[in-house]
Every structure is written in C-alpha cells, then in structure tokens.
Chain A
Amino acid sequence: MGKPDVDPSSLDFATIAELNALLRSRQISCKELTQHFLDRLENFGPHYNALATIIDKPAIQRAPDIDDDLKRERFRSPIQGIPYAVKDLFSTRDCPTTWGAKPFEKQMIDEDAQVIVRLRRAGGVLIGKLAMIELAGGGDYSSAAASLQGPGLNPWNKNHWSGGSSSGSGIAVAAGLVPYALGSETSGSIICPAAYCGVTGLRPTYGLVSRKGAMPLSWTCDKIGVLAHTADDCGYVLERISGADSEDRGSARKSFYHNPQYARPFRDLKVGFNPVDFEQWVDPPSRPVYATALNITKSLGAEMIELTLPDFRYELIISTIIECECASIFEAFIRSDKIDALADPTQINGLKAALHHSAVDYLKAMRVRTQIQDAFRDLFVRVDVLVAPSMLNLPEVISQPLDEQEKARRPHPKQKGLAESLISSANLCGLPGLSVPCGFVNGLPIGLQFVGPAFSESTLLNFGREFQKLTDFHKQHPTVS
C-alpha cells in the first residue's frame, strides 16, 4: 500500500466523522490509519504514563479485512476502520488485564469484554490498553501515582495530574494518540479525566452499556462510557456499545441511536443551574472562564432555572455503597498478602477498613439512595438538564498528595449549589452526564458538565454538540512530546 493521500499530522486530532470520510473515500486505508495511531500511542503514551499494553499485531492483521469491506462499500458504522484503545479494566483475550494494579499485572482473562466484541463487530480496531488508577480507586487514594504505570501526566502540563481513574483514556485522546477511548465511571472516573485533559467525556445511564468483562468495583454504580474529541464522536461510539446484554444483570435492555436530527429543540427545554457554582465554588482563576461558558449555555435558548440539589449526604451514601460492594467483590484479595503490593497505602488501608462496614450500614445507605432517586425524579419534572462545572478545581499538581490539595481548598462556600455533589448524586441515581471542554485557565483545560434524567443521552449530546459549534476549546490541542 502506498503513502496516504492526506497529511499524517492532520489525522492526529481528527474526529470520527472526519476519519470516517477519509476511509470511505479511500484517501487513507485502515491499515495506514492503524499504523499511524499505533506509532503515536507507542511513542508518546509512555511519556504521559498512559500506556498499559500496545496491541499491534492483531490490529495490523485485522486492518486488511476492514479495508476490503470499505473497498466493497460494506459500510458497517461510522467507527469502521478507526483505531481506539480501552482502559485496562476491560478484559482482552490475548493480553494481560491488569486493572492498573501490580498484584494483577500478569492477569490473563480468557474473554474479550462485551464492549470490545461490539466495537469489533462495528469495525473498530483495538490498538491498546490504557493506564488507570489501581482497581479504579475503590479503596480511595491519595496519590496520582496510585497506578501501575505511575501518575497520569496531563498532556497540557506534565506537572499536573490527568485525573482518574480513567487516566490513560483522558490522556490518550487529549494527546491525539487515539481518536477515542473507552473508560468507566463509578463516581467521577470519566467526568474528571475528561475535564482535566480537555476532552469530551460521556457517562451513559446505568445499564445502557454492558459491563460484561469489565472489572467490577460497584455492581450498582459502575458504568462504561466514552472519551473522545466531540459530543458527536461520543454519540457514534455509544450507539455501537449500548444495548441489552443478558449476561449483565444490570442491563437496562435498551439501546441508543445517535440521531442528532431528532433532538428536542432548546426552546422546549429547561436547564437547572446555580450561579453560586460558577461564582463561588470554582477556583477563583476559573470564574471568568466559567461565566463565559454559562453565558454560551444560556445563549442556546433553553429556559434557565436556578435551583439547588435536594439536601442529602451524597458523599457519605455513595462512599458507603462503593466501599461495601468493593469489599465484597475483592474480599479474598483484601484478606490476602497480595493487597500490600498495591501502590497507594491509602487504597490498601481503605480496602482493608471497608471490610468493617456492617450490612446494616449498607442497607441504610441503599435506603437513603431510594430517597435520593425519588428526589431526583421530582427534580427532573422541573427541569430537563442540569449544568455545572465538571470539576471545582484545576488539575492537581502531581508532586503533592491529592487529599492535601483538597483540604487546602477549604473552607467551601456556605451557599449550596449543584456542582459540589453533582457527580456523586448523579452516580447514585445512575444518571448520564457529559463533560465538554469549556476553556483554559493557566494553560490547563476546564470542563462543563450536563446531567439529565435516565436515558437522556440524546439531549445531553445535543447540548454538547451545540456548545461545541459555538466554541473551539475542543479543537485546541496540547503540544505532544
């Protein structure tokens, strides 16, 4: 095969739609595209501690079949022939699945995760597995280095953290090492790295995407999602990975179809927000940027309604549920000596301590969760979407413990808004969320999140799409070296 007809550097940050057009018009082949991103992921991934495993031979072997399909105009999906990578929490038959943790670094699982099977059917080309916080941070962690590959380095400034636990997924997309990546979220693990790395991250509704073959952390909170350059890209991927799976007991048995043309018009929608999030809760240097982002959101034409979240102890409830479920899932591991090989002592001790929770604690938390879900059902009668800063702070520096940096940001404002607890509350209710890049502060990206009721992904993606039509933050990219 000869040289591609396109400038290779123009491929680095191309969207799925752009790459799909190049493949269909045969300006580039799947083999060339795969080799291009394999080179980038292999060369630059380690510079950011983002790469767990490169999957080169199977990817290169698969490419000619896809090229043959494209040549015969057997178009399967917009992601056909486009390389991608996954958080190393998804099992892959022929290479290790480490869960980001030293004790599991040689773990082999003899099946591909359901999402990988589905993407293969759609013509996706898996080229690598990406770094993550060990065990997705189930026991809590105080260090960005709580990962088999070391701290995820932010592509915009390597002195700052990439966010986690889907660290490598955020980095790889932001640095143009893959066009999109899969991540997972139990409470914040997609929204956080998406915001910190300046990419678009979609956390789907609980049960919309099969978790078969993904490391369980919390049966009732785990969700699988997408990190990509644009809201539309997230929609294309979600369409292919969503759908019923009888082997996932949490499956909602629903599918998602990415049809932007059928999105509800903004004039029919009500958006809940609270000015205190944008004016007081976020770090002071971010406030002018967030003010602009909020104005852009307002300009979309939806009715804006000020509100606060129902009054619950969200962090207490979600941490109790995650700790209890995680302790049960990893009980044998926690009781073994292997746990001491984890990187972060906070994680080790958090997991050990989680065994002391009682069944009554867990049930109490799950009963309060019922009340929270009921309260959110009422809230989404008043509004269709909530909007708030994705994260209250800029990406932490990696040279200091994360928990100490959090403590240094206190005291928090007295007036309640949405953002402080939107990630934990939305995850308790299994709600979808979308984070889009909305500006830069001190050279670091910040994100804006949209959250809606269950199965409102189309509405959220529409907000993301229109926001990205009016801004170019998602088109700005770091210098990769």
Chain B
Amino acid sequence: MFLAAGPIAAQQGLFTAVPEQKPVGAASTLEKATDQVAESSRELRAMDLPFNIEPAFAFRA
C-alpha cells in the first residue's frame, strides 16, 4: 500500500503526486511478511557451519 504525502507539502501543493491507494489488506501483507521470515529461517537452516564458529558477540569492528 502506498501512502499519501506529508501534510505540509500537500497543503502547499508541493507534493501533488499522491499515489492511489491499492486494495491490499493488512492481513495479506502481514502474511507475506511472516512468510518472508519463515523463508529466511529455511535459508539459514540450509547453511552448513563448522561447529566451532562462534556468533559475533561482543561485536567489534
């Protein structure tokens, strides 16, 4: 779903290209986002790592 422009710009006519609202339900976008998390999880599971690789905790550049 695309959103309307900011109030100030709209008032001043500076942002006229207000996109049309698309009929996409919140539920379907949540479902899509949840599916994406599940897909990421599958992809991570598919990665083989040696057992002795530790997480980058106490992160330092």
Provided the pairs A46-B8, A399-B19 are in contact, do residues A367 and B55 lie with their beta carbons within 8 angstroms?
yes
User: Does A365 reach chain B (CB closer than 8 Å)?
Assistant: yes
Within A13-52, which residues are at the interface with B (CB < 8 Å)? 46-49
- Interface positions, chain B 17-61, Cβ under 8 Å from A, are 17, 19, 24, 26, 29-30, 32-34, 36-38, 40-41, 43-45, 47, 49, 53-57, 59-61
Q: Contact partner of A46 among B9, B34, B37, B59, CB < 8 A?
A: B9
Task: Report yes or no: A357 in contact with B37, Cβ–Cβ below 8 A.
Answer: yes
Q: Is A151 in the interface zone, CB < 8 Å from B?
A: yes
Beta-carbon contacts under 8 Å, A278-298 to B: none
Known: A345-B26, A353-B30. A146 touches B41 (CB 8 A): no
Contact assessment for B34 and A353 in the assembled complex, using a CB-CB cutoff below 8 Å: yes
Q: Report the minimal beta-carbon distance from A59 to chain B, rounded to whole angstroms.
A: 21
- In the bound complex, how far is the Cα of B13 from the Cα of A46, in angstroms? 12
> Would you call B55 and A151 a contact (CB within 8 A)?
no
| B53, B54, B60, B61 interface centre (most CB from chain A within 10 Å) | B61
* A259 CB within 8 Å of chain B: no
Residues of chain A from 365 to 379 with CB closer than 8 A to chain B in the complex: 365-371, 373
Measured CB to CB, the nearest residue on chain A to B53 is: A367
Contact A373–B56 (Cβ < 8 Å): yes
- Which of A302-310, A316-324, A386-394, A470-478 touches B? A316-324
Number of residues from A at the complex interface, CB < 8 A:
62
Interface contact A349-B59, CB-CB below 8 Å: no
A143 contacts B14, CB within 8 Å? Answer: no
Chain B interface main SS type: loop
**A364 contacts partner chain B, Cβ-Cβ < 8 Å:** yes
Among B7, B9, B19, B59, point to the contact of A47 (Cβ < 8 A). Answer: B9
| Residues on the B chain within 8 Å of A350, using CB | 33
- A252 neighbours in B (Cβ, 8 Å): 60-61
A454 close to B (CB within 8 Å): yes
Within 8 A of B (CB), among A389-412: 397-401
CB distance from B29 to the nearest CB of A (A): 5
Q: How far is the CB of A111 from chain B (nearest CB, A)?
A: 25
* Contact among B34, B47, B55, B60 with A366 in the assembled complex (CB-CB below 8 Å): B55
The answer to whether B19 touches A400, judged by C-beta atoms less than 8 angstroms apart, is yes
The answer to whether A439 has its CB under 8 Å from any CB of chain B is no
Nearest CB on B from A409, distance (A): 18
Chain B interface size band reads 35 or more
CA distance A143 to B6 in the complex (A): 12
A345 to B34 Cα, complex, angstroms: 13
A149 near B8 with CB under 8 A, answer yes
Which residues of chain A have C-beta atoms less than 8 A from B61's C-beta?
Answer: 205-207, 252, 429-431, 454-455
Tell me if B54 and A370 are in contact (CB < 8 A): yes
Does A354 lie within 8 Å of B37, measured CB to CB?
A: yes
**Measured CA separation A114–B40 after assembly (Å):** 36
Q: Are A398 and B60 in contact (CB under 8 A)?
A: no
Give every chain A residue within 8 A of B41 (Cβ-Cβ): 357-358, 361
Q: Given A345-B26, A350-B33 in contact, is the A320-B40 Cβ separation under 8 Å?
A: yes
Chain A window 79-93, contacts with chain B (Cβ cutoff 8 Å), 1 for yes, 0 for no? 000000000000000
Using CB atoms, name the residue of chain B closest to A426.
B61
Query: Cβ of B56 and Cβ of A366 under 8 Å apart?
Result: yes
Near B by CB (< 8 A), chain A positions 326-368 give 343-346, 348-350, 352-354, 356-358, 361, 363-368
Q: Are B2 and A158 in contact (CB under 8 A)?
A: no
Q: Kindly state the separation between the CA atoms of A69 and B32 in the bound complex, as whole angstroms.
A: 58
| Chain A residues in 8 Å Cβ range of B53 | 367, 370-371
**Interchain nearest-CB distance for A197 vs B (Å):** 17
- For residue A421, CB closer than 8 A to chain B, the reply is no
B55 contact set on A, CB distance < 8 A: 363, 366-367, 369-370
Query: Is A398 within 8 A of B59, CB to CB?
Result: no
Interface residue ranges, B against A (CB under 8 Å): 1-10, 12, 14-15, 17, 19, 24, 26, 29-30, 32-34, 36-38, 40-41, 43-45, 47, 49, 53-57, 59-61
Assuming A147-B6, A319-B40, A399-B19, what are 15 further A-B pairs, CB within 8 angstroms?
A49-B6, A142-B2, A145-B6, A220-B59, A313-B43, A345-B26, A346-B1, A346-B29, A352-B30, A353-B30, A353-B34, A353-B37, A356-B38, A363-B55, A370-B54
CB-CB nearest 6 A-B residue pairs: A150-B6, A430-B61, A366-B55, A353-B33, A454-B61, A399-B17
